[in-house]
Amino acid sequence: METRIQIVAVLATAALFFVVFEAVRRRRLMERYALLWLFCTAVLLGLAVWKDALEEFASAVGIYYAPSALFAIALGFISVLLLHFSLVISRLADQTKVLAQRISLLQARIDELEAAQREGAAAVDEPDEPARLVARR
Amino acid sequence: MSKLLAIVPAYNEVGAVAGTVAEIRRHAPEFDVVVVDDGSTDGTAGAARAAGARVLRLPFNLGIGGAVQAGYVYAAEQGYDVAVQVDGDGQHDPRCLPVLLDHLRSRPDLNMVTGSRFLAADGHGYRSSASRRLGIRIFGGILSAVVGRRVTDPTSGLRMTDRRGIELFARDYPHDYPEVEAVLLMHHHRLNAEELPVRMRERRAGVSSINATRSVYYMVKVLLAIFVGLLRTRPAVDPGDEAPVRAQQAV
Model confidence over B46-58: pLDDT tens digits?
Answer: 999 999 999 999 9
pLDDT of residue B248: 60
CA distance B207 to chain A (A): 24
Please answer yes or no on whether A100 and B77 come within 8 Å at the CB atom.
no
Record: contact A32-B62, CB cut-off 8 A: no
Average pLDDT for A18-41: 87
| Strands B112-116 vs B159-161: parallel, antiparallel or unpaired | antiparallel
| Residue B247, pLDDT above cutoff 90 | no
Which of A64-78, B62-76, B227-241 holds the top average pLDDT?
A: B62-76
Q: Is A109 on the interface with B (CB under 8 A)?
A: no
Q: Is the minimum CB–CB distance between B59 and chain A shorter than 8 Å? A: yes
- Tell me what pLDDT residue A127 has: 53
Hey, is the C-beta of A89 within 8 angstroms of any chain B C-beta? Answer: no
Q: How many CB atoms lie within 10 A of CB B236?
A: 17
Strands B31-37 and B4-10: parallel
Q: Judge contact between A80 and A36, C-beta under 8 A.
A: yes
According to the model, what pLDDT value does residue B24 have?
93
Asked whether the predicted pLDDT for residue B127 surpasses 70, the reply is no
Which chain A residues contact residue B55 at CB under 8 A? 108
Q: What is the average pLDDT across B161-182?
A: 87
Among candidates A88, A97, A105 on the partner chain, residue whose Cβ is nearest the Cβ of B74: A105
Among B196, B169, B176, B183, residue whose Cα is nearest residue B93: B196
pLDDT tier, B163 (very low <50, low <70, confident <90, very high otherwise): very high
Could you say which DSSP state residue B96 is in?
G
Shortest CA distance from A106: residue in chain B: B56
Given an 8 Å threshold on Cβ–Cβ distance, is A35 in contact with B251? Answer: yes
> Which chain A positions have a beta carbon within 8 Å of B251's beta carbon?
32-33, 35-36, 39, 84
Q: Is the pLDDT of residue B251 over 50?
A: no
Looking at the complex, does the CB of residue B244 fall below 8 Å from at least one CB of chain A? yes
Threshold 0.90, pTM exceeds: no
pLDDT confidence of residue B161: 94
DSSP state of B85: E
